[in-house]
Amino acid sequence: MLSKLNTLCLKGIDGREVLAEVYIASGLPAYSVVGLPDAAVKEAKDRVVAAVRNSGFDFPSRRITVNLAPAEIRKAGTHFDLPIALGVIAASGKLGKKPPARFGHAYFIGELALDGALRPVAGVLPMLLALKGRDIIAVVPAGNSAEAAVSGVNCLSASSLKEVVSWLAGQGELAACAAPAATRVPAGGGNDLSEVKGQPFAKRALEIAAAGFHNIILVGPPGAGKSMLARRFGALLPPMTFDESLETTKLYSVNGLVAAGRLIGERPFREPHHTISDAALIGGGSSPRPGEVSLAHNGVLFLDEFPEFSRPAIEALREPLEAWKVTVSRVKESVAYPARFLLVAAMNPCPCGYLGHPTRECACSPLQVHKYRARISGPILDRIDLQVQLSAVKYADWEALPGGEASAAVAGRVLKAIEIQRKRFRGGAKANAFMAGADLRRHCALPEGASAVLETAMNKLGFSARSLDKILKISRTIADLEGAAGIGREHVIEAVQYRMLDKSAAAAAGF
C-alpha cells in the first residue's frame, strides 16, 4: 500500500517542500530510501524501526520503499524520521484504509528516539519560513516549539510519535507552539566601553567604525586590551531590526544553534580561533553549512591574531567583505549564505609583539616585521578602512587613566551618524564605507584647505592613492558624527591618524 505526506528540507538557508512517499509491497523484507538521501537519512531506518515498535505499532516485515521527492534535491538531516515513520504506519493500514484527512495540509518534522520520543532538530525556522502565509499546519518536536512559533506559521508541537499518530487518527490534540516572552539581553554582553581604561584613539576609531560600517584592524602589543575593546564594540552598533534578527536566526537555526528557540535579538559577536580552517570560516562541508562569517551576519566578526590565520582563511574573506555573501560550491550542490558582518581584526605590531612598547625591547628586525604584516594581503587590507594603534599601558599610569565615555553615549552619536547616512543614500543598507567612484566624488568634496592636507600626507607620509580614498571615507564619517554637512580640514587631519599601517610601510621604505 502507498502513503504520501509532506515534510521539508533545507537548501542553503531556505526551506523547500518535500513529499515523502512510502510504499509497502510483498516480497522479501527490505528497506530502501531513494531521492538523494545523505547518511543521516539512510540511518533513519534503524531509528524508525525501533521507534515504531516501541510506540506499540507493528513494523511490517515486507518490502518497503521510501521516496523523498523532488528527487534532485539533496536531503540531509535527521528530521525525516517522523515523516518516514508516519508513512510506514499509514501505508501498513494502521490509520485506516484511506489516508487520514489531516495528511493533506500538514507538514511533519522531527527526529525519533528509539523509544518513540521526538527530538529537536536544526533548521526548523528557515524550513518553516518557506510555508509562511499558507493555510497549513506544521508538526514539530516540542523542543523546537519556541523557534517554530517565531516563524509565524501555524504550528503544533508533539513530544512523541504516539501523540502524533493519535492526533492524525483524531483521537487526541497537540499543543500549539507559543513564543516565549521576549527577554532583552543587554547589548555588548553587559560590558561597557568605559570599563576599558585609556586607549582614547582606539575607542574613537571604534566609534567611527560603527558609524560608517568601516572594517577596522587594531594593532597593539599583548595585553593592550584589543579583545576587551572588540567585545564591547557590538554595544556601539544600533539595535537589530526585526528583519535582521530573523535573517540571523535562520543562519543559526541551520547550524542548530538557536538556544531556547529565541530569535537572536542581539548583534552576534563571533570570535573564531586563528587555527580555524577556511571551510569553517566561510562555510562548507560535504553538505554545506554556514561558516563563522555567516554566523556573524548583521554583527561583528572578531579575528584576533589576524596574521596567524591561515592564508586560505584570510583570502577566503575577500568575497564576503565585497559581496556580503559567500557561495559555497561542492560537488553535490552550491549554496549562498548571507554574510554581512563588520570585521574587527586584531594583531600584534610585530612577531614578538613589543614594537613601540614603552619598556620592553622589540626583538624583531624590520624585515621580520614587514613579513609578518605582509601575511595580510593587499586586497584584504584594502577592505579594512581603519587601522589603529593601541598602546601598552604602564601599570603606574593605568590607575590614573580615565575610563572615558559609556557605550550608550557613544552609541547615541553613532545612531545619529547612521541616520544622516540613511538620508544620504536614500535608505538601503549603504554606509560611508561602501562609497566608490561617483558617490565618493559627490559626497566627499573637499574644501581648499583639506585637499592641501591630503597632498601633504601623500608626499610627506608616503600614502598611496588608494589610502587617500580610505581617508576620504573616514573623513566623511567623522564629519557625520559631528553632524557637519561638508568635510572640513580637521576631519581629514584626524582621519590620517587612522591609517597607521600605511604610514609605517612608508617609514619602512625610508622616505
Partner 1 sequence: MGVKIETEKLARVRLNFFSCHRSDWLLRLLDLYGGAAELLKRPAAELAAEGGVLPETARTLLAQSRAADPEKELLAAEKAGAGVLTVLDEAYPELLRKIYDPPLVLYVLGELKPLPAAAIVGTRKATPYGLRTAARLARELSASGVAVASGLARGIDTAAHQAAVGAGGVTWAALGAGLGCIYPEENKKLAAKIVETGGALVSEFPMNKGPLPANFPRRNRIISGLSLATVVVEGGFESGALITARFALDQGREVLAVPGPADSPASRGPNFYIKNGACLAENADDIIACFPPESLFGLKLRGAETVKSPAAAALKGLSPDALEAYRAIAAEEGGLNADELTARLAWQVQRAAAALFELEISSLLVSRGGRYCRAV
Q: Which parts of 468-497 interact with partner 1 (CB under 8 A)?
A: 490, 493-494, 496-497
Q: Which of 401, 406, 468, 484 binds partner 1 (CB under 8 A)?
A: 401
Q: Which of 159, 389, 421, 467 binds partner 1 (CB under 8 A)?
A: 389
Q: Which of 390, 410, 454, 471 binds partner 1 (CB under 8 A)?
A: 390
Q: Which listed range, 59-67, 194-202, 259-267, 439-447, lies at the site for partner 1 (CB under 8 A)?
A: 194-202
**Rule CB under 8 A: is residue 313 a binding residue for partner 1?**
no
**Rule CB under 8 A: is residue 402 a binding residue for partner 1?**
yes
The answer to whether the beta carbons of residues 208 and 260 sit under 8 Å apart is no
Q: Which of 40, 50, 336, 362 binds partner 1 (CB under 8 A)?
A: 362
The answer to whether the beta carbons of residues 82 and 20 sit under 8 Å apart is no
Can you tell me the distance from the alpha carbon of 388 to that of 204, in angstroms, rounded to the nearest whole number?
Answer: 10
The answer to whether the beta carbons of residues 8 and 44 sit under 8 Å apart is no
Q: Which listed range, 74-82, 92-100, 239-247, 499-507, lies at the site for partner 1 (CB under 8 A)?
A: 499-507
Which sign does the torsion angle of CA 457, 461, 465, 471 carry?
negative
Sequence-separated (6 or more) residues with CB below 8 Å from residue 328: 282, 283, 284, 288, 291, 334, 335, 336, 337
C-alpha cell at 402: 580615565
Q: Which listed range, 162-170, 330-338, 442-450, 501-509, lies at the site for partner 1 (CB under 8 A)?
A: 501-509
**Rule CB under 8 A: is residue 201 a binding residue for partner 1?**
yes
**Rule CB under 8 A: is residue 198 a binding residue for partner 1?**
yes
The answer to whether the beta carbons of residues 262 and 248 sit under 8 Å apart is no
Can you tell me the distance from the alpha carbon of 181 to that of 173, in angstroms, rounded to the nearest whole number?
Answer: 24
C-alpha cell at 98: 484511506
C-alpha cell at 187: 547589548
Q: Is the peptide bond before 358 cis (omega within 30 degrees of 0)?
A: no
Can you tell me the distance from the alpha carbon of 357 to that of 362, in angstroms, rounded to the nearest whole number?
Answer: 8
Q: Which of 296, 350, 446, 474 binds partner 1 (CB under 8 A)?
A: 350
Q: Whole-number minimum distance, CB 274 to partner 1, in Å?
A: 22
Rounded (5°) CA angle 204-205-207:
65
Q: Which listed range, 76-84, 151-159, 298-306, 356-364, lies at the site for partner 1 (CB under 8 A)?
A: 356-364
| Helix, strand, coil % over all residues of the chain, rounded to 5 | 45, 20, 40
> Between residues 131 and 474, which has the closer beta carbon with respect to partner 1?
474
**Rule CB under 8 A: is residue 200 a binding residue for partner 1?**
yes
Q: Which of 423, 438, 448, 511 binds partner 1 (CB under 8 A)?
A: 511
Q: Which parts of 19-78 interact with partner 1 (CB under 8 A)?
A: none
Over the window 431 to 470, marking each residue x when it contacts partner 1 by CB under 8 A and - when it does not, the resulting string is ----------------------x--xx--xx---------
> How many chain residues touch partner 1 (CB under 8 A)?
42
In DSSP notation, 83-96 reads HHHHHHHHHTTTT-
**Residues at the interface with partner 1 (CB under 8 A):** 198-202, 204, 219, 349-350, 355-358, 362, 365-367, 370, 389-391, 397, 401-402, 453, 456-457, 460-461, 490, 493-494, 496-497, 500, 503-504, 507-511
